[in-house]
Structure 1
């Protein structure tokens, strides 16, 4: 695999603008072997302490000398998105649906540490609604891997040549657990999260920009929802693994019922982990329509074999 070393971490706004300029290309089908054999890398990256403090304040979290896991995801995400914005990437960036994240946060990372960021795409495969792909991201300090994640994305309506789409798997009826919190998200939530982590995807920013991409209203960033959940569920000072699956998007403005649960109670579909001692589940849902927005789990690293990022 060819590694492209980037001069600097790309600006996400510029990548989305680049994708918008190429959005006239309509992709209906892709070949199984069409992913570019390329990885991207950015070196000597320093975390902005100002952005980190803004992130912690946005979430109402304590200011610690420890970088939150979702903040690390946001730090490496522009390197991964650079791959999706390339002209030779087979799937369209705009309109891609974020399905899930699977992360191993191997040890606490200090804000003062210098990072290397790496990303590549793999495993183009069929989905009942189109074609999905994995984005593999890694954060290193020197030669030490400190964080790795697999983000799963779906290109709806794009067929994978030579594959037939599977039937939808039946899901059990969603039975909400006892509420432990209620999040009230105003119309500016997407913009404020974007200002901290730079993810200016137009589906999150305003009513006008969301409608241009076919949505009725802007929706919350999936990683904002993950960050809010991990604020309650993730430990501090140790390594851990976490995963989240997304179901119905959270429209802005809106509210989310939230609960910490056992890991087995948190599933929105197949693929979540079995309950392990020391694990914590979480789930967010729409109280009015009684349908899940997301669910996931956090597991101590010693127990995390079943929820690893799968980056090997």
Structure 2
């Protein structure tokens, strides 16, 4: 595997512009894109945590202000590396239009703002899907050569197929009413803009009504990783030191809206949790926390 060593995390703005140009060129020539993934891993060493940035992230996601890193925070640090990989001309799926459908995080030990990370990102398992193709972006955070955190994000590229269609955002699931007894959260448009600022993901689908309409949504929608982080913040203080947290993103959370969070115990120090529309009961996210011995 070829290793691309970067001196620092890349800036997302130029990457998105490059990806948009690549998408235009591909559309002009037609075709489905490559059938294989680049055999490349992107790395950056000595990544320090900016405590002001961590505090801003904690605030928008609902975590307490501490030096302990939320399980979802290293995803923010590794995200520019993932984008740099997906923006490459030899990446088979166009970055523009990729849908984040699932995310798994493994916390191997508690992480703090004093840790200095080596970050590694690679792509794995390009595969067919009934609505197109999926790929996994795998990120690892290491401290002193030891893997302390792993994230696996599943992305879907909708593509038309013979006898079917890849159009439309048909992420769905169980539409039963949300369980009683959970918490109600009012999710305002500020969530979209403030999370975009701390994550660097300035996709207009999250921050602009016009941008959302161009992309097929009547209003902006919350970032999926904000939804995951907000759910974990609701369980803060009740999570084990080492765990896996797995989520599937269902229907997008419109901005603004009111959502219902629910969680139940599962096994030893584990949880099952979900996020639903408060009135409709439509699912936005389902997840599970599994204790790692």
Q: Same fold (TM over 0.5)?
A: yes
2:6 matched to 1:3?
Answer: no
Runs of 4+ more than 3 Å apart: 170-173, 234-237
| Aligned-pair CA distance for 1:15 | 1.8
Following superposition, the deviation at residue 138 of structure 1 comes to 0.3
Structure 1 unpaired stretches of 5+: 263-274, 303-312
Task: Tell me by how many angstroms 1:175 deviates.
Answer: 4.3
3-state SS of paired residue (2:274): strand
Which residue of the other structure, out of 268, 275, 278, is the alignment partner of 1:284?
A: 275
Displacement of 1:158 after TM fit?
5.4
CA deviation profile, 1:112-140 (whole Å, cap 9, x unmatched): 21110100001111111110000000001
Deviations, residues 1-37 of structure 1 (Å, cap 9, x unaligned):
10100121012233222222333123653454x2111
Are 2:262 and 1:259 equivalent residues in the alignment? yes
Change in 2 beyond 3 A, CA 1:200/1:173: closer
> 2-side partners of 1:173 and 1:220: how far apart?
19
Q: Aligned ranges for residues 114-263 of structure 1 at < 5 Å? A: 114-157=116-159, 174-234=176-236, 235=238, 238-262=241-265
How many angstroms apart in 2 are the aligned matches of 1:236 and 1:176?
23
- Provide the C-alpha distance between the structure 2 equivalents of 1:237 and 1:174, rounded to a whole number of angstroms: 30
- CA contact 1:207–1:217 (8 Å) conserved in 2: yes
**What is the SS of the residue equivalent to 2:82?**
helix
Match of 2:32 in 1: 29
Residues paired across the two proteins, number: 283
User: Are the aligned partners of 1:35 and 1:122 in contact in 2 as well (CA < 8 Å)?
Assistant: yes
Contact 1:179 1:257 in 2 (8 A): no
Contact kept, 8 Å, 1:51 with 1:197, in 2: the verdict is: no
Cα distance per residue 1:129-166 (max 9 Å; x no partner): 1100000000011201110011000001155x9xxx9x
Do the aligned partners of 2:239 and 2:269 also contact (CA within 8 Å) in 1? Answer: no
8 Å contact kept, 1:28–1:158: no
The alpha-carbon deviation at position 289 of structure 1 amounts to 2.5
Runs of 5+ consecutive residues of structure 2 not aligned to the other structure: none
The alpha carbon displacement at 1:226 in A equals 0.5
**Post-superposition CA distance 1:244-266 (Å, at most 9, x none):** 1011001111121111124xxxx
Using structure 2 for the length normalisation, give the TM-score.
0.89
1:63-108 residue CA offsets vs partner (Å, 9 max, x unmatched): 1121111111111111111100111111011111111011111111
Whether the 8 Å contact between 1:261 and 1:283 is mirrored in structure 2 is no
- Mapping for residues 48-67 of structure 1, pairs under 5 Å: 48-67=50-69
Query: What residue is the counterpart of 2:14 in the other structure?
Result: 14
